[in-house]
């Protein structure tokens, strides 16, 4: 449905305006710390700009005040006929609920406003009568999932000679970030440069039916000295204006001349045997026989017993190999009597009973093992311990192949790796309390026992106000309880959870915050994160301030992976197949 035509009239002198609702086409302000209505003196400058007496100076590239300049860019003046169309309310302004209010600098003081349905924006556009002269899409395209159908629907409503004017936030002025998610908590689905915006237009529209009449980086009044965590002031957008043309008669002939002059024959593409490359053979990486094997299994008695079936499989798969077994002294007798090993060496890497004696010093035991391995060389060395603490011993072994478990690519030097999660480590439950000092915010918002999140200014976008704690987390399923509450009434707040170094967002949503607390957040972390970050956005204008005092995180327990007995057996199977059958393939030669 078309909304009511909005008219904002400003004379050459000074007027007093009182704001009691969100006025779409004119930027006013409100006190961010309260809901009190403020009054501003508004005047029109000689170059046509509307400004208030309380406008702060904006610093440009040279650090000087360029808030008002003689070459000031005005959209209504840059597009032919747009200024007179504004006076007749012959301009359509497409918007979205929650989108930024277009700049007063554009001079679009009167227009027909169409609020788009974010799920089906093309259906909202279709209610417009055809043959429109001017359609504006200011600061909305980045919020729409299907930009193609939206651009096509808007372009279809234009008359021949009509204008489609698009503006989007500039990636390196508004976000100042290489990739999503947004640094300032916007709901943008894409980041734009002039090239990427033009690419989307070219993808959506027939290239013979329009011409680009204006492409501009609009940074008027932009403060290039703002810190990276402060939202910059001034214009920070890209503007594109395209004019619709009558499709030329040659538009359907663009493919002429693209067809091959001569008919294609598959036989022309076949290379004769004499002219072709040498025959290619794909063989195993090292087809030599496995004659000597070192097996390290330094765990306690129960772990050794669980490995017996894997040891039997190893002997079955490599019956002629000489197998040397390294174990704790408490397992030496059993291993010698098993008949699986040709040699048994003793190394007490752990204490036999950790509750009754101190653990041996790891560096000392490692050196003992290194001395034990001097002068020895093996075709294959295996660490059978499921956990990581003995894996580095393999680096002191001379061997053609080193094999073992590696859950999270911690040991890239292993030649044969079985990657399995640990039910003990990766499936265990865990609880963490992050106090207030684990999170960051602007100093003026921090109190001794809480952080205050004030609402955004009138027409300003809510920004990320609290962020942290940048702590490492294991992969798993989590439950997050934020100590966050609203002072008087319930409201929804944008919150996202980010694995910062991997540039991945694991949770994005609007969470209900009430005076008695905040909704519980459940999320999955598919891989370990070394700098886990929670980002909380401030309330929208007119809502209550929020109070934040920390967070409580619970890692939900889960039985994952396979049992250690099964894992060790699978490792032996993997080693056998890696060293024998799977890599022995030959490409047969064929006469051509």
**Domain check: are 321 and 230 in the same one?**
no
User: Residue 571's Cα: distance from chain center in Å?
Assistant: 35
Residue 181: the pLDDT is 83
Within-domain flag for 283: no
- What is residue 133's predicted lDDT score, i.e. its pLDDT? 93
Q: 415 and 337, same structural domain?
A: yes
Output the DSSP codes for 486-508.
ESSS-EEEEEEEEETTTTEEEEE
For residue 62, what pLDDT is reported? Answer: 44
SS3 223: coil
For residue 321, the enclosing domain spans: 292-420+570-586
Q: Running along the chain, 592 residues long, what does each successive block of 10 average in pLDDT?
A: 34 31 31 35 46 42 40 78 88 80 70 84 88 92 88 93 94 88 81 92 91 93 88 90 93 73 63 62 59 94 91 94 95 94 94 69 92 95 92 94 86 88 64 90 86 87 88 88 93 88 80 93 87 91 92 77 84 89 43 40
Number of domains the chain contains: 3
What pLDDT, on the 0 to 100 scale, is given for residue 193? 93
Residue 559 burial (CB count, 10 A): 6
Picking from 227, 251, 275, the residue at the C-terminal end of a domain is 251
CA-to-CA distance for 243 and 166, rounded, in angstroms?
12
pLDDT on residue 260: 58
For CA atoms 361, 364, 370, 371, give the dihedral sign.
negative
217/222 Cα distance (integer angstroms): 11
432 membership: H or E segment, kind and range: strand 430-434
Q: How many residues does the chain have?
A: 592
Backbone angles phi, psi at 464, to 5 degrees: -70, 120
Residue 510 and residue 383 share a domain: no
Where is 382: in which H helix or E strand?
strand 378-383
- Eight-class DSSP state of 174: I
- The last residue of one of the domains, among 183, 218, 251, is 251
Same-domain pairing of 548 and 574: no
Residue 441 and residue 487 in one domain: yes
Domain at 540, CATH number: 2.60.120.260
In this structure, the answer to whether residues 371 and 488 fall within a common structural domain is no
Say if residue 323 is in the same domain as residue 397: yes
Task: Classify residue 446 by its DSSP letter.
Answer: B
Please check whether residue 194 lies inside any domain of the structure. Answer: yes
What pLDDT is recorded for position 569?
92
55 part of a folded domain:
yes
Residues 197 and 88 in one domain: yes
- Is 1 contained in some domain? no
- Shared domain check, 205 and 82: yes
176 and 303 in a single domain? The answer is: no
| Beta-strand pair 491-499/529-537 | antiparallel
In a domain, 275, yes or no: no
Any domain includes 307: yes
> Three-class SS string for 44-106?
ECCCCCEEECCCCCCECCCCCECCCCCCCCCHHHHCCCHHHHHHCCCCEEEECCCCCCCCHHH
Query: Does residue 448 share a domain with residue 392?
Result: no
Residue 96 lies in a domain: yes
CATH number assigned to the domain comprising residue 114? 3.40.50
- Quote the pLDDT of residue 267: 63
391 and 303 assigned to the same domain: yes
Structure tokens at 155: 């372009």
- Is there a domain that residue 151 lies in? yes
Q: What pLDDT score does 187 carry?
A: 80
């Amino acid at each position: 449905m078309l909304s009511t035509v909005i008219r904002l009239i400003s004379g050459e002198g000074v007027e007093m305006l009182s704001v009691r609702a969100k006025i779409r086409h004119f930027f006013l302000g409100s006190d961010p710390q309260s809901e009190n209505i403020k009054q501003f003196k508004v005047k029109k400058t000689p170059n046509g700009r509307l400004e208030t007496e309380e406008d702060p100076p904006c610093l440009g590239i040279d650090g000087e005040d360029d808030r008002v300049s003689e070459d000031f860019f005005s959209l209504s003046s840059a597009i032919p006929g747009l200024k007179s169309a504004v006076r007749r309310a012959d301009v359509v302004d497409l918007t979205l609920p929650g989108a930024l209010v277009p700049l007063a600098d554009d001079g679009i003081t009167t227009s027909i406003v169409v609020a788009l349905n974010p799920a089906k924006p093309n259906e909202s556009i279709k209610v417009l009568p055809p043959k429109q002269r001017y359609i504006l899409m200011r600061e909305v395209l980045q919020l729409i999932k299907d930009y193609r159908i939206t651009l096509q629907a808007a372009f279809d409503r234009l008359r021949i000679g009509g204008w489609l004017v698009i503006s989007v936030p500039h990636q390196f002025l508004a976000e100042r970030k290489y990739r999503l998610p947004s640094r300032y908590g916007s709901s943008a689905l894409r980041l734009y440069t002039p090239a990427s915006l033009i690419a989307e237009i070219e993808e959506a529209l027939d290239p013979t039916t329009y011409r680009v009449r204006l492409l501009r980086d609009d940074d008027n009044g932009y403060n290039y000295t703002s810190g990276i965590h402060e939202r910059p002031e001034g214009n920070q957008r890209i503007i594109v204006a395209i004019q619709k043309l009558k499709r030329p008669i040659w538009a359907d002939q663009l493919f002429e001349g693209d067809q091959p002059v001569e008919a294609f024959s598959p036989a022309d593409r076949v290379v004769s045997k004499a002219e072709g490359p040498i025959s290619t053979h794909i063989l195993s990486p090292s087809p030599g026989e496995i004659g000597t094997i070192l097996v390290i299994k330094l765990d306690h008695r129960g772990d050794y017993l669980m490995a017996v079936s894997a040891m039997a499989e190893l002997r079955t798969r490599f019956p002629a190999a000489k197998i040397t077994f390294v174990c704790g002294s408490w397992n030496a007798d059993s291993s010698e009597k098993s008949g699986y090993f040709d040699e048994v060496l003793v190394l007490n890497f752990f204490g036999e009973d950790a509750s009754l004696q101190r653990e041996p010093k790891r560096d000392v035991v490692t050196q003992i093992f290194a001395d034990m391995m001097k002068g020895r060389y093996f075709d294959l060395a295996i660490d059978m311990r499921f956990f990581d603490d003995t894996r580095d011993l393999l680096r002191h072994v001379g061997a053609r192949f080193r094999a073992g478990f590696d859950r999270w690519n911690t040991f890239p030097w292993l030649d044969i790796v079985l990657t399995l999660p640990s039910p003990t480590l990766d499936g265990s439950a865990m609880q963490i309390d992050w106090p207030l000092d684990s999170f960051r915010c602007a100093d003026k918002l921090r109190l001794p026992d809480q952080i205050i999140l004030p609402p955004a200014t009138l027409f300003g976008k809510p920004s990320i106000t609290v962020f942290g704690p940048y702590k490492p987390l294991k992969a798993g399923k989590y439950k997050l309880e934020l100590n966050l509450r609203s002072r008087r009434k319930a409201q929804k707040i944008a919150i996202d959870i980010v694995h910062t170094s991997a540039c991945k967002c694991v949770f994005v949503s609007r969470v209900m915050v009430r005076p008695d607390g905040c909704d519980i957040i459940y999320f999955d972390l598919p891989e370990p994160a070394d700098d886990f970050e929670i980002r909380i956005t401030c309330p929208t204008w007119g809502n209550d301030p929020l109070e934040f005092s920390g967070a409580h995180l619970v890692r939900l327990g889960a039985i994952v992976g396979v049992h250690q007995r099964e894992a060790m057996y699978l490792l032996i199977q993997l080693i056998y197949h890696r060293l024998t059958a799977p890599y022995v393939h030959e490409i047969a030669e064929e006469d051509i």
